[in-house]
Structure 1
Amino acid sequence: MQHALVVQDRSLVYLVAAGFLVSLVGVGLVFRRFSSDSRDYFCANGQAKWWLVGGSLFMQSFSAWTFTGAAGAAYRAGWSVMVMYGAGVVANLFVARFAGPWFRQLRVTTQADAVRLRFGVGMEQFYSYLQLAAGFMFSGAQLFALAIFTSTILGFEVWAVIVVLGVVVLFYTAMSGAWAVLAADFVQALVLVPVTLMLAFICLARLGGLDGMFEAIEAAGLRGDFAPFKSTETVASLPGVSAGYFTLGFFVAWYLNTTIQNSSLLACGKYLAVKDGREARRAALLASGLALLGMMVFFLPPMAARLLVPEAIESLPLNNPAEGAYAGIALHLLPPGLVGLVLVAMCAATMSSLDGGITGLAAIITQNAYPALCRLFGRTPIEGRARLAMGRVVNLVCAVSVIALALVLAKMGAGGVFALVLDIIAVLLAPVALPLMLGVFVRRVQRFVAPMAIVCGLCTGAGAAFLPGWTGGEPWLYHERIFAVVVAGSCAFFAARRFGPRLDHDTAAIEAEFFARRDRPVDFAVEVGAGNDSRQMRVIGCFALALCGGFLLLALAESSRDHLGKFMVPAVFAGGIAVALFARAKVARSR
């Protein structure tokens, strides 16, 4: 049977989207007073509570691709995508056990600061400029991808969506920095978690529960396609699924790569904002728990779409119709107000990565590249409120640059350029993350070891990515490329460490300082002073209460009649969080 998957009340969807964007602008306005210097602005001065950071970690671990590309893969390949997303659960548990508390105890402001503390100034500058190049490309590509999907649902031009979403992110990040990023991510999670949970339960109810879903899979002849672990032959028969994905080798490589990246100094940024090592561990555990919830609920709707409305999904006006499976099943099962919330949740998934990426770029320029240039030219860097003002201006420039790059990608089209940008980022990320992870655990590492391992990994990754195309050979599969980079980078790292010269005095001093900080617990009262716990809880509680009211107002719309129970799910969730935060704020203030 053919279903018309279109928005029935487009004006209500526009209203929901506008309300969401206004709430993010409100976050920037409210949190602008939380920053008094550049350390406040770029890492919340190590004062953020674990639940705020944990929610932000969860939101920045995925993007709208989860609900488009990954949802399309779940539509075709079923349970395999759930297994794939379990990597975030495992990686965050590993970080909670080891690296999370260590990251906070480094007592630095940016990731590049942590790299300098471990490997010296030269490595800091190498990382800074490499991260700037990759970060601008990645953020521009993210904004472009989000605009493509959003414009398809809302019917706007891609360039207009890029400008509107980019300006909103620009506003609240430039105004309030890390505090606004953390708060906006948490507010976005208050929308995304209950909405995705509700849609998953509605899909299961329509199928008759899990037993009914398994029966429907069997009846549709999809048992082999939906199997968690697949053979290369099965994967080859699935349209739109890359060769080699969802095999045992793929999962081993995916979990390994995710754990390496989450445990490297590349990922330490969020943990620098929490109060101490104990709160860093709790933040990682919260992120792991939310990742487990997301793994279970994000991909049930596209799988249900394959069982309930496959003809309608295949008729969607997208280059790859399966990528519209999540939005399609939402249009099929939900009233317009909740469709708007689903769209908002999908936007939040990318905006949460985009805001952190832009602020991270501004932090590297302001805290690492700028002081190095001042030293080079014999100038004294500005400090205090002057550095804070500079950080805001740089953040503004970074956001404008990302918007411009996304507009360039939109002008050139969504074909080869977009894929090339993502390939370049993929080639860069794994080789850089590996030595920056090993350096957190391994001692007696000479200065040249990490750059040598990075260069070796980059050469291996670039060769695996591009040589087959140039020579006419078969492209390497994902897990073959990851294994090659990890083996080559690890061999270079440990061989150079083993057979290189002994540590000189300066390198030994740098290493001793790194591990001394890593292992020394933070005394918050002595090192930071008075916290603002109750203030954080009260402000976020107010935003949660406003969201609760907004969800209930949507239930009053004519198109929402007979759907009150569905609107109560996100309303009760946000209201419950608000009550809990107000109660904890009262306790914290009394202390």
Structure 2
Amino acid sequence: MQLTDYLVILLYVLGIVGAGLIFARKVKSSNDMFSAGGQSPWWVSGLSGFMTMFSAGTFVVWGGIAYRFGFVAVAISMCYGIAALLVGWFLAGYWRKLGVSSAAEFLRLRFGKSVVQFYTWFQGFVGILSMGGAVYALAKIISALMPLPQGHFLADPATGLLSVSFASLAICIMVILITFSGGLWAVLMTDVLQFVILTVSVIFVVPLILMKAGGLGAFIEKMPEGFASPVAEDFTWWFLIGWVLIHFFKIGGEWAFVQRYTCVPSAGDAKKSAYIFGVMYLISPIIWMMPPLVYRVINPDADFEQAYILACQMVLPAGMMGLMVAAMASATASMATTQLNVFAGAFTTELYQQLINKSASEKQLVFVGRVLTAILGIGVLIAALLIPRYGYTKFIIEITTLLTGPLVLPTIWGLFSRKIGLREVWITTFLSFLALIVLKFGLSQTGFLSGITALEPLITLVSDHIRLADLTSGIAVPFLILCILEVFTKSEHPGWQRVMASKASYQELPPVEASTMPAKMVAVTLAIVAAVMAALAMIDKAEGKILLIFSAVLLGISGVTFATVRKISARSSGRS
């Protein structure tokens, strides 16, 4: 990258952190800090949920799969869209109708404090590992683009590139500052900015990389055999079906996504937020995955984990490349800030307020939430330094397939079942984890059950279909356990009535007018980015045309957003 790219990255990061500081003025209570006061517009919540699925893993893991296997990466990404639409149909509105501000509050009402404490600690630990992995992957991408002089104190002596450890530290500091200052408001707003800039950047990459390949026809002609198939190797139709199911649980019950349904004014808004999430993931994967797909026919010998960024580097001019890297960084920051905000909120309410200081004031809760955000951020940094020992791609796939069902399915089941209670949750969790241990440590080729002759066919079957085996353990086991417990449990659990009382209370609340502040911030920020790109076009005559077109597109989006905000504000004034 060139000096211009570094300057754009610096300005972008400063702008994102500055936006977080601006939103700090809206944080007057723990409700503002962790659920945006219930005033988030549905489209902001939906796009934020969309970006929460993004991280450097989107470019490293799925971009690498696109480069190696082809359009199966598009099919896998579209599974998120199907799952989100199902969540919008069945779950999102129901979450809002319950009148709770978070999944943790629902669990406390439905099952009691012990389950909340377990989920807070265990999911918090898993969340920190996930964030650390994403930060590591992003640091790896950024470091690969930043060669430094020999002996530079920030360089990795082995590669001469920017140290991955230092890049991880810088990313973690940015994430902590955004979440620490502006809470969920800052997270939501930066998510939308990242969505717009990253989408527009990738849309520009697609035609440029196709031109490098000789056009769409040449790309299709040069594709490897089977490249256009929606399935490949271990990524079978059964895997795709399981991926939809596992993400129905994840998007419908994981705390970070539930937060997106409880921070909007109404149940209808919650549904719409899930629907926009789903629709975007049905139509956008072909655009997102095109750069590494096309790059495969241009350079079939590249490092598959770097294929995405190498494709962008090939065609983007100085300035736009920096913005693309900054947007990738922001996508990872989006995922990390979301998780930090969720678990800082959970630890604040379920640990500090429930167990340490039940009479804590709102000012105290906000302060503790910010301190816990910083502490969890340090944990993310430690995870980012340790996760390479396991392998990032392997970690992402296994943690999703194996743990989502046991940790989330009891929550979703409790939304509709009158009978499932604390005992059933513990039984389901324990037996699911036991099945996981047997699968990963017993039925492997070197596992503790490998010496039993009668089990050799099963061990071979698991080894040959490991991803399908993981999905079976992660989905079928907890589902079957809950079905059995549902049949044999006869009495209604007391938590059901507590949840119904909360739902009745919510129905009596007046509707809240959604805030237009995030949209205003998006419009202003996009206009600033457009101005920077236009200025760069005046400097870089060779690539000036691309930069000017990019600037015009961003300015157009800014203008449309601002005009829409004015209409909404005028309507609101007329009603008042």
**TM-score of the two chains, using structure 2 as the length reference:** 0.88
Matches within 5 A, 1:390-401: 390-401=368-379
Partner of 1:470: 447
Cα displacement (A) at 1:364: 1.1
Offset at 1:324?
Answer: 1.3
- The residue identity in structure 2 corresponding to 1:401 is G
Q: CA deviation at 1:42?
A: 0.6
Identity rate of aligned residues, in percent?
23
The corresponding residue for 2:222 is 216
Which of these residues, 191, 194, 205, is aligned with residue 197 of structure 2? 191
Partner of 1:3: none
C-alpha distance in structure 1 between counterparts of 2:394 and 2:239, whole Å:
22
Instruction: Report the counterpart of residue 251 of structure 1 in structure 2.
Output: 240
Contact 2:107 2:116 in 1 (8 A): yes
Distance in structure 2 (CA, Å) of the matches to 1:425 and 1:252 = 14
1:244-274, Cα deviation, whole Å (9 max, x unpaired): 2x21221111111111221225431221111
- Once the 2 structures are TM-superposed, how far is the Cα of residue 550 of structure 1 from its aligned partner? 2.8
State whether residues 403 and 474 of structure 2, in contact with CA within 8 Å, keep that contact through their aligned partners in structure 1: no
Residues 543 and 109 of structure 1, relative CA distance in 2, 3 Å threshold? same
- Correspondence for 2:484 among 495, 502, 522: 495
Is the aligned partner of 1:125 residue 2:117?
yes
- The CA distance in 2 between the partners of 1:94 and 1:11, in whole Å, is 46
* Contact in 2 for aligned 1:70/1:81 (Cα 8 Å): yes
- Measured against aligned partners, the alpha-carbon deviations of 1:29-59 in whole angstroms (never above 9, x if no partner) come to 2101111111111111111111111111110
CA displacement, residues 9-45 of structure 1 (integer Å, 9 cap, x when unaligned): x101101111110111111121011111111111111
Give the direction of change, closer, same or farther, for the CA distance of 1:17–1:158 in structure 2 (3 Å limit).
Answer: same
Aligned to 2:406: 431
Which of 92, 115, 131 does residue 139 from structure 1 map onto?
131
How far apart are 1:425 and its partner, in Å?
6.7
Summarize the alignment of residues 174-185 of structure 1 with structure 2, pairs less than 5 Å apart.
Answer: 174-185=180-191
Q: Go from structure 1 to structure 2 and tell me whether the alpha carbon gap of 1:522 and 1:33 turns closer, same or farther (over 3 Å shift).
A: farther
Aligned match for 2:276, one of 283, 286, 290: 286
Q: Work out whether residues 276 and 524 of structure 1, in 8 Å CA contact, stay in contact via their aligned partners in 2.
A: no
Counterpart of 2:549 in structure 1 is 565
**CA–CA separation in structure 1 for the residues paired with 2:9 and 2:243:** 34
Change (3 A) 1:55 1:550: farther
Q: Check if 1:305 corresponds to 2:289.
A: no
Q: Which residue of 1 aligns with 2:389?
A: 415
Shift of 1:590: 4.3
Superposition map of 1:324-363 within 5 A: 324-363=306-345
Secondary structure of 2:532's aligned partner:
helix
SS across alignment from 2:28: coil
Of 151-160 and 88-97, deviating more is 151-160
Question: Residue in 1 aligned with 2:569?
Answer: 585
User: Which segment drifts farther, 138-147 or 576-585?
Assistant: 576-585
Match of 2:229 among 223, 227, 230: 227
Aligned to 2:151: none
Q: Check the 8 A contact 1:427/1:465 in 2, yes or no.
A: no
* Cα 1:520/1:288, change in 2 over 3 Å: farther
Greater displacement, 360-369 / 383-392: 383-392
Corresponding residue number in structure 1 for 2:259 = 269
User: Alignment partner for residue 511 of structure 1, among 496, 499, 508?
Assistant: 496
Report the CA distance between 1:380 and its aligned residue: 3.5
Partner of residue 16, structure 1: 8
Q: Does 1:40 align with 2:40?
A: no
CA contact (8 A) 1:102 1:519 kept: no
Aligned partners of 1:110 and 1:367 also within 8 Å: no
Equivalent-residue separation in structure 1 for 2:416 and 2:539 (angstroms): 56
In the TM superposition, what is the alpha-carbon distance from 1:328 to its structure 2 partner?
1.2
SS in 1 for 2:538: coil
CA deviation profile, 1:197-236 (whole Å, cap 9, x unmatched): 221233345556654432332xxxx132442223xxxx2x
Distance 2:129 2:292 in 1: 29
Partner of 2:65: 73
2:366 matched to 1:381? no
Query: 1:241: which partner in 2?
Result: none
Relative to structure 1, the CA distance from residue 290 to residue 170 in structure 2 (aligned partners, 3 Å threshold; closer, same or farther) is: same
Question: d(CA) in 2 for partners of 1:418 and 1:229?
Answer: 22
3-state SS of the aligned residue for 2:116? helix
1:501 Cα offset (Å)? 5.0
Using the size of structure 1 for normalisation, the TM-score is 0.86
2:159 maps to which residue? none
Q: Which residue of 1 aligns with 2:206?
A: 200
Partner Cα distance (1:77, 1:534) in 2: 43
Instruction: Work out whether residues 33 and 185 of structure 2, in 8 Å CA contact, stay in contact via their aligned partners in 1.
Output: yes
Aligned to 1:240: none
Structure 2 distance, partners of 1:262, 1:465, is 25
Is the Cα contact below 8 Å between 1:88 and 1:288 reproduced in 2? yes
Paired positions, count: 543
Q: Is the 8 A contact 2:85 2:279 kept in 1?
A: no
Pairing of 1:161-172 with structure 2 (within 5 A) = 161-172=167-178
Query: Partners of 1:259 and 1:361 in 2: how far apart?
Result: 21
Contact 1:545 1:578 in 2 (8 A): no
After superposition, the Cα gap between the structure-2 partners of 1:442 and 1:202, relative to the gap in structure 1 and judged at 3 Å, is farther
* CA–CA separation in structure 1 for the residues paired with 2:400 and 2:380: 15
Q: Which moved more, 1:432-441 or 1:95-104?
A: 432-441
| C-alpha distance in 1 between matches for 2:563 and 2:429 | 48
Deviation string 1:265-289 (CA, Å, 9 cap, x unpaired) is 5431221111111111111111122
- Aligned partner letter, 1:351: A
**Partner in structure 2 of residue 317 of structure 1:** none
Task: Point out where structure 2 has 5 or more consecutive residues left out of the alignment.
Answer: 148-161, 451-458
Aligned equivalent of 2:155: none
| CA distance 1:424–1:206, change in 2 (3 Å) | closer
Match of residue 433 from structure 2: 458
SS in 2 for 1:484: helix
CA–CA separation in structure 2 for the residues paired with 1:490 and 1:386: 41
What secondary structure is seen at the aligned counterpart in 2 of 1:91? helix
Asked whether the 8 Å contact 1:104–1:276 carries over to 2, the reply is: yes
Q: Deviations over 1:276-303 (max 9, x none)?
A: 1111111111112222233121111111
Match of 2:347 among 356, 359, 365: 365
